[in-house]
Amino acid sequence: MRHTDQVAIITGGGNGIGQSTCEYMAQLGCTVMVADIKEDDAKKVAEGIKKNGGEALALKVDVTKKSEVEQMVADTLQSYGRIDILLNNAGTDIKGHITEIKEETWNFLMTLNLKGTFLCTQAVAPSMIERKYGRIINVSSMAGKTGEPLTSAYCTTKFGVVGFTQSVALDLGPHNITVNAVCPGAVATELHKKSVAQSAAIKRVVA
């Protein structure tokens, strides 16, 4: 399926699953907004897409900050006049045994993984409703369908993403906007490698 002339915002697009999705969507003909808190990573991905004949723009954005998310959407609409696709991919995982995980770690994951998805979805919805078209994809995880050890905070956020997705799909469905969640398993990204190392270290401590 080609997506020529469609505009896609992909958060966390500077590396890992986000980067691969940016590159794939560009191959399908999308104009890709590579949104990432790490501006250099976003620029590198966007430049690679353009070198391969695609259209991309790098945007520095912290998805936990409403003002930056709204600016991301405004910049996209100003540059291209439309937003067809939003992929809420920005997120992370920090391992911790339930007896040891810190409150600030819990709050950080809730804010990034869950609130970030909410803020971005809320920000793109009005323009999609106006055009009576939109495709929103939220990246959950297999950890959003079944619990995993040392992952209570991350699992909670990813279960939350699934519930959020199901509810918002009902809100936006009448406007010809689909909202779906994908639940990847283990993918050999830098984040996954870091998570595996964290789990191994924790297990040695609590064993």
Catalytic residues: 154
For tokens 């010809």, what's the residue? 176
**Rounded CA separation 153/26 (Å):** 33
Residue 2: CB atoms within 10 A of its CB come to: 9
Strand order of the β-sheet with 7-11 is 55-60, 31-36, 7-11, 85-88, 134-139, 177-182
**Rounded CA separation 136/125 (Å):** 9
Burial category of 62 from C-beta neighbours within 10 Å (exposed 0-12, middle 13-18, buried 19 and up)? middle
Start-to-end CA distance of the chain, whole Å, equals: 50
**Rounded CA separation 14/80 (Å):** 21
